Amino acid sequence: MAGREIAVFVNVFFMQFKFILDKRIVHVKSIRGLLSDNKSRGSLCGYLITNGLLEIYALIDDDLDEDEKIKTLIHELCHQIFPTAHHQYIYDLENILYKRFSNKQRRYLLGKIPRTSYYVRYVHIGKNSFMKFSHA
Ligand SMILES: [Zn+2]
């Protein structure tokens, strides 16, 4: 695909992310100590709560650096757009979009992650919620 064609797809993704965030379809929360309730799965970078709730929450680990926070938000928003996609595709999209977004687009996404964080020890892993594992 030519660079200009790729740019069209990347910008369409950004417009959709902006719509989801500006219309508060997904609420972003900063969380400290985000851990799975399944001990073998360990700590999480992010988590999307969608199961049966009117409000959808993207939880982002507050201990991540800025680039990892942006990547994790991209990851969780991809889950929102493609709820049945295989996880490997979500990771692939996360990496492609992070690489292709402009600095201005990345700063916008970072600005949507609150500076005030909450402490949550465990999150329930329901059938329609998604999680991203820590690389640590
Ligand atoms: Zn995920």
Domains of the chain: 3-133 (3.30.2010)
Report in angstroms the alpha-carbon separations of 86 from 29, 79, 82, 89, 135: 24, 10, 9, 6, 19
For residues 102 and 33, the model is more confident at: 102
What pLDDT score does 42 carry? Answer: 61
Taking the centre of ligand 1 as the mean of its atom positions, its distance from the CA of residue 70, in whole angstroms, is 14
pTM for this structure? 0.86
Q: Is a pLDDT exceeding 70 seen at residue 21?
A: yes
Taking the centre of ligand 1 as the mean of its atom positions, its distance from the CA of residue 81, in whole angstroms, is 12
For residues 119 and 45, the model is more confident at: 45
Q: How many residues does the chain have?
A: 136
Backbone angles phi, psi at 80, to 5 degrees: -65, -40
Taking the centre of ligand 1 as the mean of its atom positions, its distance from the CA of residue 94, in whole angstroms, is 10
Taking the centre of ligand 1 as the mean of its atom positions, its distance from the CA of residue 61, in whole angstroms, is 13
